[in-house]
A and B are shown apart, each in its own frame.
Chain A
Amino acid sequence: MAPLVEAIELKKTYMLGKVPVEALRGVNLKVESGEFLAILGPSGSGKSTMLNMLGALDKPTSGKLLIDGIDIATLNDNQLSDLRRRVGFVFQFFNLIPRFTARENVELVMSIADVGKAERRKRAEELLEAVGLKDRMNHKPTELSGGQQQRVAIARALANNPKFLLMDEPTGNVDSKTAREIMNLIKRLNEERGVTIIMVTHDQHLAREAKRVVQMFDGVITSDVVNGEPT
């Protein structure tokens, strides 16, 4: 079976004004279904660029990135949008729509994917219950704590049954106690529901929670460790 994600000699060069910046300089990576992978690296290592590629938000300059067997370089804007629906994005700053309640935020992604009204309501309630927000689902983000907002974001990311969850510093904006709770939730999703998780972080402690840790530096992968064993 083809891997869920496969990067082959993936390169990305940005123009910073007139200066070209090589954010990715030939990344090779395979992620299989069911994995819990952390991409670890300091700022400037290329991990955010990698995240954008994996989220189909950006296209590579050269090389290939196959998501679920599809080369994202060959897709137009519309097809990229379709592909993004198969990726569950969890952002560092939650990125909920402030005027919508928790439930409406979860429903929104399903309405983007043309899910019927009754179905999306039912599913949003189930998901919010699963992340422990059963009694907060009619609250707006401003009425929720950071941890609760991130749970809503996770529920939202799961709404369209994505191929994998793509997380950008998921605990970067909450206190340590909440961070622990969020990490437990993420691990549970991986272990109990078999959700594939790719988490991008600069935090070594956090990265250690993952089963596999890929370290990036200066646009390339410098190490790839599974359960403490280098691959």
Chain B
Amino acid sequence: MKARDIFSYSFSAIRLRKLRAGLTTLGVVIGIAAIVALLSVTQGLQNTITNQLETGLATDTLIVVPGRGFFSEGGTSIGGGFGVGGSDFKLFINDTEIINSLSLDIETSVAIIRKNVYLQSQEQSLVVTIRGVDFAKYAEIYHTTFVADKGTINLNPANDEIVIGKALHDPWENGTLLFNLGEELEIIWTNTTARPPENVSYTGRVTAVLQEIGGFGVGGPSDVGVYIPLEQAQHFFGTEECDTIIVKLKTSERDVINAVSEAITDAYGGEVSVVTSTAVLNIINRVFSVIQLFLAGIAAISLLVAGIGIMNIMIVSLIERTREIGILKALGMKNRTVLMIFLGESVIIGLIGAVLGIGAGWALANVVAVVFSEGGLFGGIASGQSAQISNGGLTIVPVLTPTVLVGALIFGVGVSVIFALYPAWRASKLKPVEALRYE
């Protein structure tokens, strides 16, 4: 029997039981829709986060942190925050000079002292991460982002000057201000190394508000950042140690990045980690792959349930059509053709289900994206470290990759066919004499 005739026979059998076939197909539609929706939303979210990171992470900068292994390319350990616990190694502010001397490809480097403090005005009090940086060098490295929207960033600042990110100034973007330009703020830090622990504080003045940056600001300036002069930080926190050294390269070539990273790591005997933007992005991508696999796995379960539905319906159909199969065999139809007819039915159900499912999933993904984007569900994440501050939310644009598209199609049809194999095989093996006798 010709393939077209087999297909047409399968189709006529499906058409005979429209409701049943429709409900069976609905199972496939739901399964595929769930997979497509979850994957395209996740892919969209990944793209958004990657873009934001790329904004925050200049590709020609390296971030040097004390501790082994973390964020280095190919590394698999994922700890909390920069650096890995268990190492007593410290970076010092004057290590920038050592690092600068390591390679001619290094333009400059800047040390960052990072501490969690209370930032207190007359009305507001907030826990923030404060960064002590050399304003001049920092502005040189991040010349597109460490830029004042209001006030001025003095390259040779007075000790009490404070620069704040946009989100600490006007977080709701409606004129209700959190901390204003020119406002005096008290910075309170609990020195936990003192015995007994003691609170120290000083009063600073907001001299500049950064323009809106967006993104996560890994290493670089961020909308929720608070910046004070490096000397002031050294003096106030009583330390020569720094948490991070940002290294600016003369080029963003991959070979240079790798060579300098290696030179720095070697110079410190492997006691520091060099974070490159590509390494961070690699980790993000790896994490998202796992998330996608996990979500697709959950969605696949619903498709398996649909598959069992198909098997069930096929077995019922097989029993109902026993006599018909007997007739077909008596008329000379081969076992193989009977098998193909039943598999053909499952292919039709799978194909229709997958196509409708992809459409439904895509529609669902767009609805979910709109709800998530506008509802600001990710507002907290977007604003980085401080969950209290909304940054307006992320905009997720769902992405349906060709891989997902083709994969969903193959998976939908594949599951249908696999679950139809057993009933189809049973149908093909029916003995014509017995099948004809079946009432």
On A, residues with C-beta under 8 Å from B are 52, 55, 57-58, 77-78, 81-85, 89, 91, 95, 97, 99-100, 108-109, 111-114, 156, 160
25 examples of A-B residue contacts, CB within 8 angstroms: A55-B330, A57-B432, A57-B436, A77-B334, A81-B329, A81-B334, A81-B335, A84-B329, A85-B331, A85-B332, A91-B330, A95-B323, A95-B436, A97-B324, A99-B13, A99-B16, A100-B12, A109-B332, A111-B1, A112-B1, A112-B332, A112-B333, A112-B337, A114-B1, A160-B332
Q: Which residues of chain B come closer than 8 Å to A111, judged between CB atoms?
A: 1-2, 5, 9
Q: Does B328 contact A (CB under 8 A)?
A: yes
B11–chain A nearest beta-carbon distance, Å? 11
Q: Which residues of chain A come closer than 8 Å to B15, judged between CB atoms?
A: 99
Q: Which residues of chain B come closer than 8 Å to A78, judged between CB atoms?
A: 334-336
B1 & A57 in contact (Cβ 8 Å cutoff): no
Q: Does B368 contact A (CB under 8 A)?
A: no
A57 & B331 in contact (Cβ 8 Å cutoff): no
On B, residues with C-beta under 8 Å from A are 1-2, 5, 9, 12-13, 15-16, 323-324, 327-337, 432-433, 436
A99 & B333 in contact (Cβ 8 Å cutoff): no
Known contacts A99-B12, A112-B1, A112-B332; can you find 9 more A-B pairs with CB under 8 A?
A: A57-B432, A81-B329, A84-B329, A85-B331, A89-B330, A99-B15, A100-B12, A111-B1, A112-B333
One of B16, B327, B332, B436 near A81 (C-beta < 8 A): B332
Q: Which residues of chain A come closer than 8 Å to B12, judged between CB atoms?
A: 99-100
Closest to A107 in B: B5
A117–chain B nearest beta-carbon distance, Å? 8
B332 & A82 in contact (Cβ 8 Å cutoff): yes
A100 to B13 alpha-carbon distance, docked (Å): 10
One of B1, B5, B331 near A84 (C-beta < 8 A): B331
A179–chain B nearest beta-carbon distance, Å? 22
B5 & A89 in contact (Cβ 8 Å cutoff): no
Q: Which residues of chain A come closer than 8 Å to B16, judged between CB atoms?
A: 99
Q: Which residues of chain A come closer than 8 Å to B433, judged between CB atoms?
A: 52, 57-58
B331 & A89 in contact (Cβ 8 Å cutoff): yes
A57 to B335 alpha-carbon distance, docked (Å): 13
Q: Which residues of chain A come closer than 8 Å to B327, judged between CB atoms?
A: 91, 95, 97
A52 to B329 alpha-carbon distance, docked (Å): 12
The 7 nearest A-B residue pairs measured at CB: A85-B332, A84-B332, A111-B5, A81-B334, A57-B432, A95-B327, A109-B331
Q: Which residues of chain B come closer than 8 Å to A156, judged between CB atoms?
A: 331
A112 & B328 in contact (Cβ 8 Å cutoff): yes
Q: Which residues of chain A come closer than 8 Å to B329, judged between CB atoms?
A: 57, 81, 84
